[in-house]
Amino acid sequence: MPHYMIEVGYTAAGWAALVKSPQDRIEAVRPTVEKAGGKIEAGYYAFGEYDIVIIAELPDNASAAGLAIAFAAGGALRGIKTTPLLTAGEAVEAMKKAGGTGYKPAG
């Protein structure tokens, strides 16, 4: 099953709600991810542009997009970014395919 990195950033109002009622949002969304046919492999709170990073297995891009839309529609996020991930083997296969395309750079 494909893997995705899902990064979310909370709004000030989202953080205010979590300060008022602290909870582990990674565990809170686990059932939602599972209902989409996926599995959370790892989840972390982070410093920087995004506040939570989740590595999840999901059946396909439509499932990943559906989760992103659902999370964004909740209103507590200032941003969400979903990145498809490749295994090392998939990356090597992509490199081999790139080599066989015949592409020539300009210049």
Residues 14-60 pLDDT 10s: 999 999 999 999 999 999 999 999 999 999 999 999 999 999 999 99
Percent of the chain surpassing pLDDT 90: 99
Does the pLDDT value for residue 107 go beyond 90?
Answer: no
Give the 3-state DSSP-derived string for the chain, with helices as H, strands as E and coil as C. CCEEEEEEEECHHHHHHHHHCCCCHHHHHHHHHHHCCCEEEEEEECCCCCCEEEEEECCCHHHHHHHHHHHHHCCCEEEEEEEEECCHHHHHHHHHHHHCCCCCCCC
The rounded Cα 49 to chain-centroid distance in angstroms is: 14
User: Measured in Å, how far apart are the chain's first and last C-alpha atoms?
Assistant: 40
